[in-house]
Structure 1
Amino acid sequence: MQVQKDTETYNTKKFNELFSELEHCNEEEEKEKIEEINELVNKLDENEYLSSFTTKLFDDILKMIEEKKLSMGNAVLLMKRIGYCKIKKENENESFSNSLLHDRIQEMIFDEEKKKEEKNERLLVDLCECYLLLNHVHTSFEMAPMCMHFILKVSLKKDENEETQKEAEIALFSLSCISEYVTIKQEIYLNEIKEIIKYHQEHRNLTHFAYNFAWMFLMRRLFFNSKLETVIINDLHFVREAASEVKKLAGSIDWKNNEKDEEMKRMKINDIVIVERWLCMIHYFFYSCKFRVEKFIELISCMTSLCRATIDTHKIFVRECCSTFFDMMKHQPVLPVVNDLLKGGAIDFFMEELQRSTLDDIISYMFFKFLKEISISLEGNEENETDDAERKATKQKMVEKLEEEGYEDINTSLCKPLVYSRNKYFCYFVYAGIVDHFMEF
């Protein structure tokens, strides 16, 4: 514990030391110093971040810019890294929003945007990206559309060179940070974001992160705009693309081995982060979307494969997939979803895993709850449920699956752990007679 405290103290002191040295550097030295600071920023933990990036620090950055002790270009590099780390750490402090630098950046964006000729487009994009990244959840309704206009121009570039890809990645990342609660008219962004996604689907010109960011931006808009469902499903084929990305990433990661080479370790961490973001977006999609899509089986199959690959090393992915399956049942027609879960292998996976003695309490509980939810859903009480014969046929499939996998023995052996799980995690039931319940037509 003491080692961690010393590390925190060292990082904070080192940051303050490097920052104070900036005003004594020439521009070339300044850039090298910024790169060193940015490397350190990546290492700061939550407490170190909060203690380092205060309102006073942002005001000091502004003062250094105005006194020509820090170039705008280098200030932008620093602000983007601070904003990136803020989002990565899910930090919602308002130190930047309360600073003079925040007001000055807004003013600069408005002033530059008003120019009829010779707009400095690069400066505008940089300032808009800094604003969105540092404000994160506090982006204003007035600023968001304006920033979006300039940032989308960068994102639309078709070049596949590394520099353009990096520009598109940070641009789309900043756009994906705009909260779903910030209302933006779809005519401001829809054609452009569709073009970005479609072009990538044909030419694969974006990085994995950039493509994910483009989808995240659009998915956030879906939250309060159900009209986007047809675009997301039929025009941009989200379900197909999500299945493809999850399958590709899940198959390319060696989940069980810890990489020793630093570069390989970094690449693996990045891939895992992308998988996590896709799962989050899939969950978001099924929570918001009510459309029925035939490709669900393929997506369920890919998610089940991911669960099999990560059950021993990254259980959080298994829990995320389970939560998504719950939302599918709540927001989609019940019978097709249950059949999709059967055909996609999700039920087989649950039953196989329930027989493992090493399965933890939370996942055991989630699997049992899932089976109970299916049994309740097939009661025939749903408003849209009319085909009683199909309902009975699906229930029969579930009965056969449960009997085939020896559910009664599994349930008996896990009864005590589940009762403990109920007390520890505030679960409110243990359903011991699911097979009998399924048999009650």
Structure 2
Amino acid sequence: MEINVTDRFTYLLDKLKYSSNAEQKQIIEEMNELIDDMGEVETEIVFTTELFDKIELMIEEKNLSLEDSILLLKRVGRCSMLKLVTNYSFVNCSLRKRFEKLIIDEDKKKEGEDQKLLIDLCECYLMLIVSFKNVSKEMISVLIPCIMKVALYKEENEETQKEVEMALLALSYVEKYDEIEKELFLKDIKEIITNHQKRNNLTRFAYQAAWQFLIYRLCRDESLEDIIVNELHFGREARRELEELSRSVDWKRNYEEKGEKEAKDALIIKRWLQTFESYLESCELWNEEYVEVFNSIVQVLSSAKVNNREISYGCIHLFMTAAENSFIKIEDLLKSGAADAVMEGIHQPTMDNDIICMYLEFFEIISLRLKEKKDDEIEEAKRKELKKKVFEKMEEVGDEDAIMSFYKILPFLASIKYFFVSSNIKYYFVNV
């Protein structure tokens, strides 16, 4: 009988206690391969507080070396990040306290004494901790500069690129609500991004991670927006990366249904969508570059809608977030083709409840914004003209009929608590 991934992982973890050092390295290698094969559900089931406590006890009883435990834990953290799984198990485990003490102690040693151990500990901690809510300022002041120093490595050989990628991935996992002093990161992250723009010295993963770390800081510090928009040109860079990544993805393959490992480029696209949506949630600066980003996302949605459900969801949810932001002109969103892409989607013969809810919510937001009267006469005239064009387009392609087809199930959809879908059908019509 074939043993499932989670049972095999648990068996190998127990086996570590009774193995020699050489055997342990082989076992950890196999465990790391199993981690790579885990899906989101398996990841949440396996990486529990009990697992971390068990590893801590094995280190304490000298059944597992700290170095070997780091090899395993780095893969655990990386796996959670890449699968976009938020796991809070590490927050309450005894292993966290051990790591915090080790990091502070290692930082107090003379530079060069064992910097690799400090770097490994900091990377593990950042990837596993999820939130800085209960992390001391002393810890943060060690973690960020330590990993930023690695991310600044400028050698362009493959080994260095891997180290830089791991460092930036660890930094990208710092939550957007976590407060970090600008002095700890701004000068360095600007240098990392501008260096890549001049020399193309980062992997695609590393470059996306650098932007994600910076964009996430915007949530707590609006003063970063001018740097992000006008100095580093986030819109231009996001558009270029999405277009190049989209060309390299094999959209005909259905990774989800076949259970195959997701293509790396498709995964980076998901992360760019997540990062751009985070920007839209906080932005007050807007320029023409972002209309081009929407154009690129429309193309991604068009390519992904058949075989990649998660990326399709990401695109539609991002358009909803954009429509809700009053700083984003509704005409820019419409000009990009975002509304057309959503309108096209609502005519699909088969849709699950989640995607129906997202489509309807998007129409409701667009409808409300087109009905908002302007005080300025010129702007009011533009609004009326735009509203007329949208109505005519919806009528021409039968969107209102498609929306009406959901009339009977609206009360049910409105009862799904994690969506804010109105049960009143008139809210979805621009002309009402």
TM-score by length of structure 2 reads 0.85
Matched AA of 2:383: R
User: Whole-Å Cα distance in 2 between the matches of residues 106 and 361 of structure 1?
Assistant: 44
1:224 shift after superposition? 0.9
Pick from 151, 169, 173: which aligns with 1:177?
173
Q: Which runs of 5+ in 1 are unaligned?
A: none
Q: Which residue of 1 aligns with 2:418?
A: none
Distance 1:309 1:431, change over 3 A: farther
1:7 shift after superposition? 5.4
User: Whole-Å Cα distance in 2 between the matches of residues 136 and 357 of structure 1?
Assistant: 40
Pick from 199, 202, 207: which aligns with 1:206?
202
2:425 is equivalent to residue 436 of structure 1? no
Asked whether the 8 Å contact 2:254–2:307 carries over to 1, the reply is no
Q: Which residue of 2 aligns with 1:295?
A: 289
Q: Which residue of 2 aligns with 1:98?
A: 93
1:30 shift after superposition? 4.3
2:306 is equivalent to residue 306 of structure 1? no
Matched AA of 1:419: K
Distance 1:375 1:109, change over 3 A: closer
Asked whether the 8 Å contact 2:333–2:339 carries over to 1, the reply is yes
Q: Which residue of 2 aligns with 1:274?
A: 268
Asked whether the 8 Å contact 1:160–1:205 carries over to 2, the reply is yes
Give deviations 1:329-361, integer Å, cap 9, x for gaps: 332446xx2222232122322333333433555
User: Whole-Å Cα distance in 2 between the matches of residues 353 and 75 of structure 1?
Assistant: 47
2:131 is equivalent to residue 133 of structure 1? no
1:329-408 alignment runs, 5 A limit = 329-333=323-327, 337-381=329-373, 387-405=379-397, 407=398
User: Whole-Å Cα distance in 2 between the matches of residues 280 and 297 of structure 1?
Assistant: 17
Give deviations 1:199-257, integer Å, cap 9, x for gaps: 11222221222112111111221111111111111111111111122222222212222
Asked whether the 8 Å contact 2:364–2:428 carries over to 1, the reply is no
User: Whole-Å Cα distance in 2 between the matches of residues 86 and 433 of structure 1?
Assistant: 38
Q: Which residue of 2 aligns with 1:412?
A: 401
Q: Which residue of 2 aligns with 1:20?
A: 17
Matched AA of 2:193: I
User: Whole-Å Cα distance in 2 between the matches of residues 315 and 284 of structure 1?
Assistant: 20
User: Whole-Å Cα distance in 2 between the matches of residues 311 and 328 of structure 1?
Assistant: 20
2:45 is equivalent to residue 47 of structure 1? yes
Q: Which structure: larger Rg?
A: 1
User: Whole-Å Cα distance in 2 between the matches of residues 379 and 298 of structure 1?
Assistant: 26
Matched AA of 1:16: D
Give deviations 1:183-211, integer Å, cap 9, x for gaps: 21101110100111111122222122211
2:232 is equivalent to residue 236 of structure 1? yes
Asked whether the 8 Å contact 1:136–1:179 carries over to 2, the reply is yes
Q: Which moved more, 1:111-120 or 1:139-148?
A: 111-120
User: Whole-Å Cα distance in 1 between the matches of residues 341 and 312 of structure 2?
Assistant: 11
User: Whole-Å Cα distance in 2 between the matches of residues 331 and 151 of structure 1?
Assistant: 34
Asked whether the 8 Å contact 2:141–2:184 carries over to 1, the reply is yes
2:279 is equivalent to residue 285 of structure 1? yes
Matched AA of 2:231: D
User: Whole-Å Cα distance in 2 between the matches of residues 289 and 433 of structure 1?
Assistant: 26
2:188 is equivalent to residue 192 of structure 1? yes
Q: Which runs of 5+ in 2 are unaligned?
A: 416-420
Q: Which residue of 1 aligns with 2:142?
A: 146
Q: Which residue of 1 aligns with 2:223?
A: 227
Asked whether the 8 Å contact 1:411–1:432 carries over to 2, the reply is no
Paired-residue identity, %:
34
Give deviations 1:368-401, integer Å, cap 9, x for gaps: 4433322321234468997222222222322332
Asked whether the 8 Å contact 1:362–1:421 carries over to 2, the reply is no
Distance 1:307 1:41, change over 3 A: closer
Give deviations 1:294-329, integer Å, cap 9, x for gaps: 112211111111111122222333332232223223
Alignment partner of 1:436: what SS? coil
What is the aligned residue count?
A: 417
User: Whole-Å Cα distance in 1 between the matches of residues 3 and 400 of structure 2?
Assistant: 46
Matched AA of 1:330: E
Q: Which moved more, 1:204-213 or 1:419-428?
A: 419-428
Q: Which residue of 2 aligns with 1:317?
A: 311
Alignment partner of 2:48: what SS? helix
User: Whole-Å Cα distance in 2 between the matches of residues 372 and 11 of structure 1?
Assistant: 47
1:75 shift after superposition? 3.3
Alignment partner of 1:355: what SS? coil
2:238 is equivalent to residue 249 of structure 1? no
User: Whole-Å Cα distance in 1 between the matches of residues 396 and 263 of structure 2?
Assistant: 39
